[in-house]
Structure 1
Amino acid sequence: MLTKLEAAEALGVSPLQVDKMRQCGLLKATRTGQGWRFSQEELRDFQRDLRGVDVSNEKMMVAALSRRT
């Protein structure tokens, strides 16, 4: 399981962007006593499902949700 910072580094985005993607449902995470944790499998699935999709802002993230369901 990866921390938010590690997930951000793996995805090449900021930790704030990871938070936003988690909050809108694009990234699945597990809540722990020390914050959120992201599985490596989830990050691989995210990259596979959303390759080439612009998720640079919250409106685009919400629009991208249909590709993950």
Structure 2
Amino acid sequence: MAERSAKRPKLLNRGEDDYKPGNIMEIELHNFMTYDQLTCKPGPRLNLVVGPNGSGKSSLVCAIALGLAGEPQVLS
């Protein structure tokens, strides 16, 4: 039986040390738009926000923008 020549890449354990300066490590919302309370810890790499209409995806993006000193007029 022939052995496979292509090896699977090793999975890397990603931890707190993978975050870079400027990464968002935690989002905490209280009584903000559609959320009574939300705590979210995005990972150091790509993060997606998915859900049905009206589930709060845009509210989360709005909270991030305001938290990063965005102006509310730009978000409307």
Tell me the TM-score range normalised by the shorter chain. Answer: under 0.3
TM superposition score normalised by structure 1: 0.22
- Identify the structure with bigger relative contact order (alpha carbons < 8 Å, sequence gap 6+): 1
Larger Rg: 2
Looking at secondary structure, tell me which structure has more strand per residue: 2
TM superposition score normalised by structure 2: 0.20
Looking at secondary structure, tell me which structure has more helix per residue: 1
